[in-house]
Structure formats: C-alpha cells, structure tokens
Amino acid sequence: MEIQRKSDEKEVKKFLTGENFYAQQILGIQQIGDRFTFRVWAPHAQMIWLVGDFNEWQNTLDMEKDEESGIWEVTTSIPKVGDLYKFNVQRADGSQIMKLDPFATRFEKRPGTAAIVQIPTPKKWRDNLWRGRQRRSDHFKRPINIYEVHASSWKQNENGQPYTFKELKDTLLPYVQKMKYTHIEFMPLMEHPLGASWGYQLTGFFALSSYYGTPEEFQDFVEACHLANIGVIVDWVPGHFCSNEDTLPYYDGTPTFEYEDANRAKNYRWGVHNFDLGKPQVQSFLISSALYWIDTFHIDGIRVDAVSNMLYLDYDDGPWTPNHEGGNRNFEGYYFLQKLTSVLKQAHPNVLLIAEESTSHTQITGPIETGALGFDYKWNMGWMNDLLRFYQMDPIYRKHHFNLVTFSFMYLFNENYLLALSHDEVVHGKKSLMHKMWGDRYNQFAHLRNLYAFMYAHPGKKLLFMGSEWGQFLEWKYDHGLEWVDLNDSLNQHMQRYTTHLNQLYKEERSLWETDYSPSTIRWVADDPEQSILSFIRQGTRKKDFLVVVVNLVPTERLNFKVGVPYEGEYQEILNTEMVDFGGTWEKGNGVQSTIEEEFKDFTYQIKINVPALGILYFKPMNKTTRNSTVKGGKEL
C-alpha cells in the first residue's frame, strides 16, 4: 500500500522526520466524502484490523501497511459518526491486542476506553478582541494571577458527577470574575482512565476527557472566558503516558512511543512510561498535540508538567542508565524541550509557556540561543518550600530561620519565576494551606492573610489552588467537590472577601507586576530578624509609582515602628491584613502618614506606623509627595 495522496505523502515524510506539527491531519481519522480513512503508525506490527461496534469488534476490516513509513491505513464507509472503534494490533510476536487510536479526538466515558468516530466541526470564534489585545501586549509587564482548578472536583452534582464545561461556564466563570483573578489554569483535561491520577496519566493527547462534556462545550467555555477578559491555561504532560496495556505502551509489540532502554522507558515513581523524546515520530506526535490544544481551543498558555523528569536520567526512583558522557543529563529531553518551545513560539508568540521544574541545574526560562529551554515562566519551588516551612514554625523560633523568608530575594532574577501555591501542597497528608498555618484557628487565618499579602508583594506572577482562597481546612480530595459548606462560617467568608480584595488590589497597583523581572522592581528598606519584621519597596516603571511593604511575621504588635521612605510627603495605607472586614481585629488602620525628615538607614525620610501582630501593610505615596530622599542606596537587589 502506498499513501494515497501526494500531499499526504509529503506530510507523512515530515512526520517521520519529526517536522510535522499538525500530524492529526494525516493520522487518526480523515473524512473523504461519505467515507473515513483511518491511519495509525505501528511500524513493527504484523497486521492491524479496524474493529468497532459497527462490525461487532471482529477482524473484518483489514488495514494495509505502507512499508516505508510504517503507517497502516483503511478507507471505508462502514463506520458512522458516533460509532466506537479501536485498532486490533497483531504485534511483532504474533499476539493480538486492541489498542486505542493515539490521535483520537473523542473517547467514550470511562470505564470504557474506545474512541468515537468523529470529525471536529470548525468553530466560528468571537474572541478576536481578546486575542488581538494579547498579541499587542507584553505579558511580562501585565498582571498574571492564576486560579488553579481541578475540573472534576471544583464542584460536583448531587450524584457525585463532575460539572461539564457547559455547567462550568455558568458557575466557575462567574466565580472567577467575582474573585478578580486574571487567569484560570486547569489540571490536565485530556482523556485519562483513572481519576486518581488527577489527569496526569494521559491516554488521549488530542481528546478532551469525555468526563467534562464535548470539545464544543470547552470551546464555548474558553470563548466566554475571553469575552470576560480571563485567560485560560491548561496543564500538559509530554514526558510520560499511561501504562495501561491497551493504550500506548509497546504499541506494535516493540518500543514505539517509549525508549528502547527499559530503564528509561519505565517510570517507577509514577507507574507510567516515558516518551522517547529523541524519536522523530514522537516529537511530531507531541508537538502536534500541544499545537492542537492551542489552535482548537484558543487556550492562552500551557503548563508543562514534570520537566525535571525529562531533563535528568536519575530523576526517577528506579535504575537508570548514564548518558554517553557518563552523566545524568537526558540530552533527548533537553533538545526536545527547546524544539517544543521554539515551534510553539513561532506559531503563537504570545502563548504563555510555563514549566513545573524543581531543580536549579538547567536554565529554564529565556532564549534557547543562550542555552535556556525557552519557557516564559518557571514555578518557584524553592520559594514555596521555604515559605511554607517558615509559616508552620512556632514564632519563637522564626528569628533563627529568617533566611527562609529572605533567601528568595537573593536569586530573584535567575529565572522568570511564577509563585505557585498549587494542588501539590494540599494533598497526600501535606494538609491544606490553612491547616499548615501555626496557631489556633484565628491565628491560622491571620497567617494565611499574611502569606498571601507577602506572596503578592514578592516579585513574580501568582498562582493559588482552588479552595485556598477561603481557607478550606480539609485537604483536597480529587473525587469530592470542594468544601463549599465552609462559607457558612464567618471567618471563611471574611477570608474569601480578603482574597477578592487582594486580587483586585493586585490588578490595580502596577508596581506589583509591571517590573517583575527587572532589577528595578524592588528596593530593600530593612530587615530585622530579631523582631521578625522586614520592609521593602515594590517599584513600577514610573518614578512615583511604588508601594512600601511592611511585613510582621510574628504575633507581636509593633507600635511607632519606623520605616524609611524614598520621598517626602504623605503615604496612605492601602492594605492592612488585620482589618475587621478581613477577619482581623483592627477597626481603624494607620490612614495617611506624613514623613519625618529623619534618616533611616539609606533614606532621609521615614514614617512612623503601628504594625499589627502577624500583619502586613502596604503604603502608597499620595500625589503630594515632593522632594526626593537623599538616598545613598535604597538599594536595588
């Protein structure tokens, strides 16, 4: 058999060389009039049959092999739209097994695993205004505040079934608008057979999980988000895939999608298989998947999961084989990731590319010409780990561990960091963010308000996992809805109101996001480990656009506390985390404070304020500010 059309033949050759980034237009299902062509890549299979409910799952539809490409094909009018199908593969050893279509765009609801015959209908999008604004803007200089969502467990119906995207459009979207977030990030939405994997063990790299409704409903959801000025980011998993025998592993009886080296093919930690990222056909498959989601669903960003697993041969718990230099670098993974980001940025320059990566051995963000991987943002795992350790600590010991709070300022500009308090921190016995906080219930809420205010003042874009915005006490459960009943409690209500206020303040104050990745973004005022208090300035692009931030990390009030400021004039308190409206005890804050001409470290002027126990204060200069402080430093970090 030869591939039928010359245009298809050209695209097949590109697939084989790792340069076909729209491979779903050749493989999987193609419609020709009232007939369908089914194609699958399985170079070492002895025979393949197309089977489904249309032929009672019998071997009556033989597929023919193109020997040069290893692609099998059959064109038939027997299957109809909506029918279920699989490929029955006679593998290299002669055994037969029914396998899914790697390029399928729809699957039946689990526990079923068959694909559905379907040809997607192009959507007439109405989000041109949003997409045009994104093309004209620089996201590094824009506010990015992400609400991370697991679609199955944000809310559930009374029968325990998750909301579909049709329902989420009417519930989740208005909630995110009300809470003043800028983006929603979904944990993987692609087809997966086991809810306990949270979507990270994929089987359908081109298919929205049938759990969440139809692809058209997800398209409508994204469009509605864009019309409401909210971006959508989706987690994507190119490093590994589900090990179920009827999915991708050893597809034709030999290593097909996985590495030939068994130590590299098997991921022992997660019970999955690793993609052979150096194989050209696998590169075509994965990059096509990423572009499919961006093109088909207009998503604004992709968060690539488990980048470390793709970069280091010894990242797993099992045995590993050193590279040709004797080291642990996965060169195939490194160069694949550079290729991935390069292709995606060429096609969509403004798409957000975010990496979840936990080491400091490889430059993740920045141009690939410099040796970096080409991502826009990297989750700051060090900041997260240090800070959560600190906030769980008894305050009497904090002065001895103050570097846990300040250390991140020493490496601020090593990468373009995104500060994430994600799902990984509220599961598997780690406790919820609320439950991690030190003290009784009141102090736990005070700590949580403090943590968020410090996070928003710290340079870097933001992400918070669902339920944390009101201080859910119970750990996240992937198979249950969030504890919305918490909001019957006044303290949870106040916490939710506080997060909404902080989100709105973040969007309004340009100095909190405009210069995140410039050394001018922050100027140190003072830190006092003995009192566990620190102060710094967040600076915008304009000279008088800045905030003075004062952070008290122990439950001791500081009266008549002195803080250096860069200009003479008046400073207005715009945030006090301990106000009654937020669940604190202060009915009246500091209000407007006038400067005193008295030296404070590197500053000529200062203000005197009262700092609440476990409180954080933001001060903003009023328009009356006049003379510049004779700053010896006011040092930039």
Q: Which residue has the tokens 């800070």?
A: 387
Question: Which residue, 549, 417, 437, 547, is CA-closest to 495?
Answer: 437
| Angle 31-37-38 from CA coordinates, rounded to 5° | 125
| Angle 200-206-208 from CA coordinates, rounded to 5° | 70
Segment 168-189 mean pLDDT: 98
Q: H-helix or E-strand containing 451? A: helix 441-457
Catalytic residue chosen out of the listed positions 356, 486, 509, 568: 356
Instruction: Please check the confidence at residue 560 and state whether its pLDDT lies above 50.
Output: yes
User: Would you tell me how many other CB atoms lie within 10 Å of the CB of residue 597?
Assistant: 10
Is there a common fold for 6-116 and 520-621? yes
Coil, strand or helix: which one is 526?
Answer: strand
In single-letter form, the type of residue at position 290 comes to A
Mean pLDDT rounded to a whole number for the chain: 95
pTM: 0.96
Q: Grade residue 623 by pLDDT with cuts at 50, 70 and 90.
A: confident
Q: What CATH class does 520-621 carry?
A: mainly beta
Q: Grade residue 120 by pLDDT with cuts at 50, 70 and 90.
A: confident
Buried (b) or exposed (e) across 279-313, using 16+ Cβ within 10 A? Answer: bebbbbbbbbbbbbbbebbbbbbbbbbbbbbbbbb
Q: Across-strand partners of 379?
A: 418
Q: How far is CA 572 from CA 236, 246, 281, 627, in A?
A: 44, 63, 60, 17
In single-letter form, the type of residue at position 389 comes to R
Segment 6-34 mean pLDDT: 92
Q: Grade residue 628 by pLDDT with cuts at 50, 70 and 90.
A: low
User: How far, in Å, CA of 203 to CA of 113, rounded?
Assistant: 9
pLDDT in the model for residue 5: 56
pLDDT in the model for residue 636: 43
Alpha helices in 152-306 (DSSP H): 165-179, 215-227, 262-265, 280-297
Segment 554-570 mean pLDDT: 96
474: exposed, middle or buried (Cβ count in 10 Å: 0-12, 13-18, 19+): middle
Instruction: Please check the confidence at residue 629 and state whether its pLDDT lies above 80.
Output: no
Instruction: Please check the confidence at residue 451 and state whether its pLDDT lies above 90.
Output: yes
Catalytic residue chosen out of the listed positions 235, 305, 486, 516: 305
Instruction: Please check the confidence at residue 137 and state whether its pLDDT lies above 70.
Output: yes
Query: Mind listing the pLDDT tens digit for each residue in 51-63?
Result: 999 999 999 999 9
Instruction: Please check the confidence at residue 637 and state whether its pLDDT lies above 50.
Output: no
Q: How far is CA 212 from CA 150, 152, 195, 206, in A?
A: 11, 8, 12, 14
223 is catalytic: no
Instruction: Please check the confidence at residue 29 and state whether its pLDDT lies above 80.
Output: yes
356 is catalytic: yes
Cβ proximity of 441 and 399 under 8 Å? no
Report the relative pairing of strands 231-236 and 183-186 from DSSP bridges: parallel
Q: Across-strand partners of 564?
A: 606
pLDDT in the model for residue 121: 87
Alpha helices in 2-82 (DSSP H): 6-16
Instruction: Please check the confidence at residue 2 and state whether its pLDDT lies above 60.
Output: no
User: Would you tell me how many other CB atoms lie within 10 Å of the CB of residue 355?
Assistant: 28
Segment 452-460 mean pLDDT: 98
Query: Mind listing the pLDDT tens digit for each residue in 258-271?
Result: 999 999 999 999 99
Q: Across-strand partners of 62?
A: 49
213: left (phi over 0), alpha (psi -120 to 50) or beta: left
CA atoms within 13 A on the CB side of 449: 36
Coil, strand or helix: which one is 627?
Answer: coil
pLDDT in the model for residue 3: 53
The mean-pLDDT minimum among 31-35, 38-42, 364-368, 383-387 falls in 31-35
The backbone torsions φ and ψ at residue 23, rounded to the nearest 5 degrees and listed phi first, read: -65, -20
Cβ proximity of 234 and 302 under 8 Å? yes
pLDDT in the model for residue 423: 97
Cβ proximity of 121 and 216 under 8 Å? yes
pLDDT in the model for residue 4: 54
Does 621 sit behind a cis peptide bond, omega within 30 degrees of 0 on the bond before it? no
Domain 6-116 grouped into CATH 3.40.50.300:
no
Question: Domains of the chain: which residue ranges?
Answer: 6-116, 147-364, 520-621
338: exposed, middle or buried (Cβ count in 10 Å: 0-12, 13-18, 19+): middle
Q: Across-strand partners of 419?
A: 462
Q: Tell me the fold of 147-364.
A: TIM Barrel (3.20.20)
The mean-pLDDT minimum among 98-102, 475-479, 626-630 falls in 626-630
User: How far, in Å, CA of 2 to CA of 253, rounded?
Assistant: 23
User: How far, in Å, CA of 299 to CA of 517, rounded?
Assistant: 24
Segment 117-131 mean pLDDT: 94
